[in-house]
Structure 1
Amino acid sequence: MKILIAIIIFSAIILIHELGHFLLAKLNGISVTEFSLGMGPRLFSVQKGETRYSVKLLPLGGSCAMVGEDTAEEELPGSFNAAPVWGRISVVAAGPVFNFILALILSVIIVGFVGYDPAEIVEVQQDSAASEAGLEAGDVITEYMGYHVDLAKDLYVYSYLNSLNEGDTVTLKVRRDGETKEIQYTPDVSVRYLLGFNRSDASSMTVESLIEGMPLEAAGLQPGDTITAINGTEVADGEAYDAYLQEHPLSDEPVEITYVRDGLDYTATITPQEYRTPVLGFSYNLGYQKANGLEVLKYGTLEVKYMIRTTLLSLKQLVTGGLGFKDLSGPVGVVDAIGTTYEESKSEGALMLWMNMLNMAVLLSANLGVMNLLPLPALDGGRLVFLIVEAIRRKPINREVEGMVHFAGLMLLMALMVVVMYNDILKIF
């Protein structure tokens, strides 16, 4: 069931994208030879006028094939290149624009049912730097470190992707009683001592992964080892481990770790490593408030804005190295993510299940719109670059050169998709 729903959502988003190209092509007198949902061999199709409407075997994709779209033909009536340049620009841009329109419609529905999440301060830690700077519960954050904040999720994503360093100055703009106030402070620092491992879940003491450069890795522990005691005190499970740390917090004093590997007991003496993290000193709302009247449209629009900005922030992190290649997902990863969201949402009731499904559709539709507008060959954005240059020069760039650029871009894109799909499959299995 979850795979079917995932495919339906993904296919609907692709269909809307291609529908944008199709409708604007018809409006500009461009002949469409085939409008298809899916890729690969046709399952069935029907011919209506000049256009064949097809459903193909692989449901992850679609196309709107126009006469002369990838050739140098200009004289042929009804061909893509025979249309005025601004008409062609509207045809190419229509796919991403329709994705944004779909995202807006779905966001308005979600906000109408669920509401919106203001970035409102719910608690300020007593005697913290934030408190001394004048931050108060009830303040609504409108700007964080120069980044405009519309919703609580804006603040969450930006702060996640741009972590603070010790000594940084936090700058905030908050709305209080209808007025905007600016607040600045240097965050307090939390000092912890860590062994450097991750568990599969809170109840387990089996090492799932080791943090590079941390003490347990240096001591030779490996994923799959199970920690059974600290300084001679048995820690049978995660609860016992947490209770031990509550009573005996780690410090810069060495501790003896007992662990099991392949049924044999081993010990290692380890000195925990100091880990310092800036602490903002406040918590903010992560719940939702009801939207009324025109607020539904306003906050629906802000939801789409959030999705677009999040995509752009993620791309920036990918380019600057904040995110790695392993963080990319293709169609297989997307379908898996939708399926996982479906499974995790079933226990929350039918309304929240479908709101989460619609939210995934908003994210994917906005993401597809942004990605297609990137000025890269073979993407809509790459085609728009050539068309805008043509509009400025009042004559086209050599069609054969443009075709070769897009073909090379398509080959690189297909190679990237294969690698990303392989990466998705590895993550699933």
Structure 2
Amino acid sequence: METFIVVVIMFGLLISFHEFGHLILAKRAGILCREYAIGFGPKLFSIKKKETVYTLRLLPIGGFVRMAGEDPELIEIKPGHRVGLIFNSHDLVSKIIINHTEKYPEAKMITVDDADIEKDLVIRGYEQEDGEKFTYYLDRKADYVVDEQAYQIAPIDRQFGSKSILDRFLTIFAGPFMNFILAIIIFIVLYSIQGIPTDKPVLGKLVQGDPASTAGLHQGDRVLKINDQSIDTWKDVMTYVSDHPKESLIFTIKRDNQTKQMNVVTKERKGNKGAKEGYIGVYQPTEKSFLDTITYSFKQTFFFIKQELLAIKMLITGTIGLNQLSGPVGIYNMTGQVVKHGFLMVLSWAALLSINLGIVNLLPLPALDGGRLLFIIVEALRGKPVDPKRESLVHFIGFAFLMLLMIVVTWNDIQKIFL
């Protein structure tokens, strides 16, 4: 249960920042954003502020910002439709009642002859059969009312496709970019609490029961020598200990201005490449500095971005296979392991996942932000947009491919856990 709660909160945060990036840049460009949603499926909570409905949905597996013009309009007014019109104080149509018109006795009923809801913002129609045709002008923020739910109309200049290439590019790019910003923020919180790593030859936190604590070493001890080897950096400590598994080492340390010698018997474990290495159960020392914390947080974010890109390169070149990828099941399982190591490890893990989400979304694959950016770049190079039908088809095929990939990755995750 603890893992589930952490996953929900963590992914809620990652998705919220991602979609918030889209929302802010869309609004800055003047795009009508109908909904900002966290999750998919049935609504659990919703609140409308100005033009946008903010919703929390049942399934915490994603989110979206519904921008006008990205999809066909939900409502189409055709000739012959019987609708009700409600006017504002400027005699402009403020509401178009599509159905259940009997609930709006104040509405003027007309039979539509033609309507232009995007450009000219007019509805022409008849109040009576064989009567005179009237023209009614719409307020730019008029609402459709369907099943007593209001949906704001979207004039053409408020739609995504009407905006400049730069505005559209920035609106899409802002989602992944906000994931990188979130990673930096999380790292700042993390290193503000635990401090930033330093290469000084000083012992950090000790693991109780491991050789260092058993031998009587303390956090803050400065290592001068190990056996006869002079020690100048933390790297020197780790290198010497690693090269001497299951050996008795004499640590010469400085504590409270006094020099002491301690006998430490190293333990043995497998290293990253499978080779045996020694360890004594000591963390790298840290120190706290506000400016250094910010600088180090940026460096860590850029470092892990490079690592993600390197992993993608290795996947493309076949250096690593699909069986090395993790999907929702694998991430859930790994999160459970991270939770056991405490809050700080959860913070670090959340930062890595945020970077991963940003990088993956920037891949030039259909149905992802990177695929949409690719079409915008192609439009800029061609001087005209790609046929929307063709673009939709490519995104549909890409989405199907991603779903297939997700099934394969999920099956691999299940095999790793249970088989």
Same fold (TM over 0.5): yes
Q: What is residue 304 of structure 1 aligned with on the other side? A: 301
Is contact 1:117-1:286 (8 Å) kept?
no
SS in 2 for 1:33: strand
Please point out which of 318, 325, 329 is paired with 1:321: 318
The equivalent position to 1:112 in structure 2, one of 187, 192, 202, is 192
Q: Based on CA coordinates, which of the two structures has the bigger radius of gyration? A: 2
Retained in 2: the 8 A contact 1:108–1:297? Answer: yes
Distance apart, 1:291 and its partner CA = 3.6
Matched pairs, number:
284
Corresponding position of 2:174: 94
SS in 2 for 1:77: helix
Could you tell me how far apart the structure 2 residues matched to 1:10 and 1:87 are? 27
Q: 1:82 to 1:37 in 2, by over 3 A?
A: same
The alpha-carbon deviation at position 289 of structure 1 amounts to 2.1
> Does residue 428 of the first structure (1) align with residue 406 of the second (2)?
no
Distance in 2, Cα, partners of 1:123 & 1:305: 34
Normalising to structure 1: TM-score of the pair? 0.58
Q: Distance in 1 between matches of 2:298 and 2:42?
A: 39
Asked if the contact 2:192–2:290 (Cα under 8 Å) also holds between the matched residues in 1, the reply is no
Q: Measured at CA, do residues 427 and 11 of structure 1 come closer, stay the same or move farther in structure 2, by a change above 3 Å?
A: farther
The correspondence of residues 243-392 of structure 1 with structure 2, limited to 5 A, is 287-343=284-340, 345=341, 353-392=342-381
| Superposition deviation, residue 20 in structure 1 | 0.6
- Structure 1 unaligned blocks of 5 or more: 142-151, 156-187, 189-241, 244-275, 346-352
2:7 is aligned with what amino acid? A
Contact 1:119 1:140 (8 Å CA) reproduced: yes
Distance change (3 Å), C-alpha of 1:18 and 1:277: closer
Partner of 1:272: none
Q: Percent identity?
A: 40
Partner of 2:55: 54
CA distance in 2, matches of 1:423, 1:16: 29
CA distance in 2 between partners of 1:42 and 1:278 (Å) = 52
Cα displacement (A) at 1:22 = 1.0
Displacement, 1:338?
A: 1.4
Contact 2:187 2:297 in 1 (8 A): yes
CA distance 1:139–1:390, change in 2 (3 Å):
farther
Once residues 320 and 288 of structure 1 are traced to their aligned partners in structure 2, the CA distance between those partners, rounded to angstroms, is 38
Per-residue deviation at 1:120? 7.6
Partner Cα distance (2:50, 2:33) in 1: 10
Alignment partner of 2:405: what SS?
helix
Change in Cα spacing, 1:67 to 1:318, as seen in structure 2 (3 Å) is same
Greater relative contact order structure (CA < 8 Å, 6+ sep):
1
Mapped pair 1:138 → 2:232: yes
Deviations 1:76-97 (A, max 9, x none): 2311101111100110000011
Q: Following the alignment from structure 1 to structure 2, what is the Cα–Cα distance between the partners of residues 52 and 20? A: 16
Q: Distance in 2 between matches of 1:375 and 1:140?
A: 41
**What is the identity, as a one-letter code, of the residue corresponding to 1:403?**
S
The aligned amino acid for 1:30 is I
Equivalent residue number for residue 20 of structure 1: 21
- Deviation of 1:298 after TM superposition, in Å, equals 0.9
Q: CA deviation at 1:368?
A: 0.6
Q: Is the 8 A contact 2:70 2:160 kept in 1?
A: yes
Amino acid at match of 1:368: L
Counterpart residue type for residue 324 of structure 1? G
- Decide whether the 8 Å contact of 1:34 with 1:64 is kept in 2: yes
Structure-2 residue corresponding to 1:176: none
User: Who is 2:257 aligned against?
Assistant: none
Q: Tell me: CA distance 1:336–1:279, structure 2 relative to 1, closer, same or farther (3 Å).
A: closer
CA distance in 2, matches of 1:410, 1:422: 18
* C-alpha separation in 1, matches of 2:70 and 2:199: 47
State the alpha-carbon separation in 1 of the partners of residues 225 and 390 from structure 2. Answer: 60
Deviation at 1:99, TM superposition (A): 0.5
Shift of 1:334: 1.6
2:384 equivalent to 1:395: yes
Residues 119, 424 of structure 1: alpha-carbon distance in 2 compared, 3 angstrom cutoff: farther
- Alpha-carbon distance change, 33 to 139 in structure 1, aligned in 2, over 3 angstroms: same
Give me the TM-score of the superposition, normalised by structure 2: 0.59
Counterpart for residue 7 of structure 1: 8
The verdict on how the C-alpha distance between 1:65 and 1:277 changes in structure 2, with shifts beyond 3 A counting, is closer
Offset, 1:360: 0.9
Moved more, 97-106 or 25-34: 25-34
